[in-house]
């Protein structure tokens, strides 16, 4: 059974692309999350903002989906999620912005 995850794409006020993830990312839906990330990065001319502020849970499968796109994404994270991303090493290889 897959955990609830909503993925939406759009544009920020400056016109840059954004992928918003809401709900939970775990091993049951990490492939869907990874596919959405790959598509967003492949179709964008520049960096993609990945908004994780509406995530309630992100496990190691979700973290693993982020690493291959380190050079092409910026992460927007809540104060609760930002330490997890930092400990995992994502803050060292990509731009991490706290909301």
| Residue ranges making up the domain that contains 23 | 5-98
Q: What is the distance between the alpha carbons of residues 1 and 51, in angstroms, rounded to a whole number?
A: 25
Q: How many domains does the chain have?
A: 1
| Pairing outcome for strands 17-25 and 95-98 | unpaired
Tokens, residue 7: 């993925």
3-state helix, strand, coil in the chain (%, to 5): 35, 35, 30
> Of 19, 21, 94, 29, nearest to 61 (Cα)?
29
Task: Quote the CA–CA distance of 35 and 21 in Å, as a whole number.
Answer: 12
Q: What is the CATH number of the domain that holds 65?
A: 3.30.750.24
Residues in the chain: 99
pLDDT values of the chain reduced to their tens digit, one per residue, 99 residues: 667 999 999 999 988 999 999 999 999 999 999 999 999 999 999 999 999 999 999 999 999 999 999 999 999 999 989 999 999 999 899 999 987
Answer yes or no: pTM beyond 0.85: yes
């Amino acid at each position: 059974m897959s955990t609830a995850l909503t993925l939406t794409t759009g544009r920020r006020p400056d016109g840059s692309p954004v992928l918003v993830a809401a709900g939970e990312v775990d091993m049951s839906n990490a492939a869907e999350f990874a596919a959405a990330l790959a598509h967003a990065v492949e179709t964008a001319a520049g960096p993609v903002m990945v908004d994780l502020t509406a995530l309630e849970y992100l496990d190691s499968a979700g973290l693993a989906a982020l690493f291959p796109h380190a050079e092409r994404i910026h992460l927007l994270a809540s104060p609760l999620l930002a330490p997890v991303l930092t400990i995992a090493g994502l803050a060292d290889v990509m731009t991490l912005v706290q909301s």
